[in-house]
Amino acid sequence: MTLTKVVLSERDMPTHWYNINADLPAAGVELPPVLHPITLQPVGPADLAPLFPMALIMQEVSTERYIEIPDEVQELYKLWRPTPLYRAVRWEEALDTPAKIYFKYEGTSPAGSHKPNTAIPQAYYNKQAGVTRLTTETGAGQWGSALSFACQAFGIECKVYMVRVSYDQKPYRRSLMQTWGATVVPSPSPQTAAGRAILAQDPNSSGSLGIAISEAVEEAVTREDTNYSLGSVLNHVLLHQTVVGQEVMKQMELIGADWPDVVIGCVGGGSNFGGFAFPFLRENLVNGRRSRIIAVEPLAAPSITRGVYAYDYGDTAKMAPVAKMHTLGHDFIPAPIHAGGLRYHGMAPQVSAVANAGLIEAQAVPQRAIFEAAMSFTRAEGILPAPEPSHAILAAMNEALACKESGESKTIVFNLCGHGHFDLGSYDAFLQGRLEDYEYPAEAIERSLANLPRV
């Protein structure tokens, strides 16, 4: 029974974030400008100033390859970083595969996922800029709890608009945010014009991430003391998450692992995938490596595999900036799959651009199959994955089983971006046979095309 874990020392933690924008032009990939939601003209830093501190706006548009991580952020990272990398030896045995499977584990953070990697620097830069309140949205609660934790660390007030259906169905996540001192409001709420407009149409609206973003953005725009914070999609968010991929490369080197043939991450808004995969993508682009890099999304919200690559709003009420991205349409509300963190209509512009350029692959997978893969994994390795990373687990399993067929001994690495201790209701539903598969409805494609902004 061999078991392999690689823990970096704190000395070996990355001191810089990696910015893929520096390497895209040479690869022939263009990142189109972000547009103002009303004028549909390219936004400048001043347009974003009501939402974000200037340091984050500068990161958003930076083409510097490596951006230094502030000391205070590095110190707080050490609360749970560096995180371990494992070789899944027992799972390899269970799958009877000649493949070598490695996984990074981000579930040891206080919030149980990779989200604090960006919550901490976002709170830090806002604090530096004198901001005393932050608003944000949250679906299942992963991001909201991460930001609540980060705000608490820097003494910033935090207000979270939580999608109504999750607010009612997942009180535990709400309690976690409140325990860390945040104010949590079910969305749509009567506290914003956006919320009131939705409630006027449907007083019983169960909400969506797009609506909650509208409310959080509206409050930040209309209050002087308040900024907005987003947990995915934007360049600076993906930037902060690159500590994950950089650590993995160092850990694989330390353990003498082969260079990965396949790099796999789940993808919803794109921050987990970008943070994990972009350091590897750079090696493909710049240093002649040939890893296949696979983004795995739910069949219920398949923005890369079934959406269009076009300009669209980031939110339902059309208040957030307009970006060119893979989108299912800003008014598309994904089916209630248990991987709440992947229920978003759009996709990070950076991930969309490299997908559009064919530099990465994408797969869409159904819900029941990801729970089956999660069961296979946890019964071998012990760690219980959240439904989101279970998308990556399924893809890794399929690769490993293909190796069994072909006899190849490929090296596969994936990111296990959060534990499933908050998701046992979902496992319970799976064990009792109550889980459904959802497909993105074909008729929604036409609607999404019809409602895109005309740029």
Burial of residue 454, with CB atoms counted within 10 A of its CB: 0-12 exposed, 13-18 middle, 19 or more buried: exposed
Short-list 418, 372, 140, 97, CA closest to 276: 418
Question: Which listed residue (197, 431, 449, 455) binds its own copies by CB under 8 A?
Answer: 431
Question: Which listed residue (42, 171, 190, 441) binds its own copies by CB under 8 A?
Answer: 171
Question: Which listed residue (100, 114, 173, 306) binds its own copies by CB under 8 A?
Answer: 173
Question: Which listed residue (64, 225, 428, 436) binds its own copies by CB under 8 A?
Answer: 428
Distance between CA atoms of 390 and 369, rounded to whole angstroms?
9
Of the pair 118, 214, the CB lying nearest its own copies is at 118
3-state secondary structure 66-104: EEECCHHHHHHHCCCCCCCEEECHHHHHHHCCCCEEEEE
Residue with tokens 């958003």: 60
Question: Which listed residue (36, 90, 404, 447) binds its own copies by CB under 8 A?
Answer: 90
Distance between CA atoms of 416 and 291, rounded to whole angstroms?
19
Residue 421 within binding range of its own copies, rule CB under 8 A: yes
Shortest distance in whole angstroms from residue 256 CB to its own copies: 16
Distance between CA atoms of 212 and 428, rounded to whole angstroms?
28
Question: Which listed residue (153, 230, 237, 397) binds its own copies by CB under 8 A?
Answer: 153
Shortest distance in whole angstroms from residue 1 CB to its own copies: 6
Distance between CA atoms of 154 and 149, rounded to whole angstroms?
9
Residue 10 within binding range of its own copies, rule CB under 8 A: yes
The 8-class DSSP code of residue 38 comes to: T
Residue 384 within binding range of its own copies, rule CB under 8 A: yes
Q: Give the phi and the psi of residue 345 in degrees, each rounded to 5.
A: -75, -25
Residue 378 within binding range of its own copies, rule CB under 8 A: yes
Distance from the first to the final alpha carbon of the chain = 59
Of the pair 276, 371, the CB lying nearest its own copies is at 371
> In b/e form, how buried is each residue of 46-77, taking b as 16+ CB within 10 angstroms?
ebbeebbbebbbebbbbeeeebebeeebbebb
Count of residues that bind its own copies according to CB under 8 A: 45
To which H or E segment does residue 187 belong?
Answer: strand 183-187
Question: Which listed residue (32, 50, 98, 110) binds its own copies by CB under 8 A?
Answer: 110
Residue 178 within binding range of its own copies, rule CB under 8 A: yes
Non-local CB neighbours of 29 within 8 Å, separated by 6+ positions = 353, 354, 357, 359
Residue 156 within binding range of its own copies, rule CB under 8 A: no
Read off the amino acid at residue 215. E
Of the pair 111, 293, the CB lying nearest its own copies is at 111
Residue 180 within binding range of its own copies, rule CB under 8 A: yes
Tokens read off for 47: 């347009």
Distance between CA atoms of 270 and 281, rounded to whole angstroms?
14
Residue 93 within binding range of its own copies, rule CB under 8 A: no
Of the pair 190, 425, the CB lying nearest its own copies is at 425
Tokens read off for 16: 């810089």
Tokens read off for 12: 């070996």
Of the pair 45, 155, the CB lying nearest its own copies is at 155
Question: Which listed residue (62, 65, 108, 404) binds its own copies by CB under 8 A?
Answer: 108
Residue 225 within binding range of its own copies, rule CB under 8 A: no
Q: Which x/- pattern over 325-364 shows residues binding its own copies (rule: CB under 8 A)?
A: ----------------------------------------
Residue 425 within binding range of its own copies, rule CB under 8 A: yes
Stretch that binds its own copies, among 237-245, 382-390, 402-410, 442-450 (CB under 8 A): 382-390
Distance between CA atoms of 111 and 238, rounded to whole angstroms?
18
Residue 32 within binding range of its own copies, rule CB under 8 A: no
Cβ–Cβ < 8 Å for 303, 431? no
Distance between CA atoms of 148 and 122, rounded to whole angstroms?
11
Shortest distance in whole angstroms from residue 8 CB to its own copies: 9
Cβ–Cβ < 8 Å for 49, 220? no
Question: Which listed residue (424, 441, 446, 449) binds its own copies by CB under 8 A?
Answer: 424
Of the pair 294, 416, the CB lying nearest its own copies is at 416
Site for its own copies in 47-86 (CB under 8 A): 72, 75-76, 78-79, 86
Of the pair 94, 335, the CB lying nearest its own copies is at 94
Burial of residue 244, with CB atoms counted within 10 A of its CB: 0-12 exposed, 13-18 middle, 19 or more buried: buried
Burial of residue 374, with CB atoms counted within 10 A of its CB: 0-12 exposed, 13-18 middle, 19 or more buried: buried
Residue 176 within binding range of its own copies, rule CB under 8 A: yes
Binding stretches for its own copies (CB under 8 A): 1-3, 5, 7, 9-10, 72, 75-76, 78-79, 86, 90, 108, 110, 112, 149, 152-153, 171-176, 178-181, 375, 378-379, 381-384, 419, 421-422, 424-425, 427-428, 431
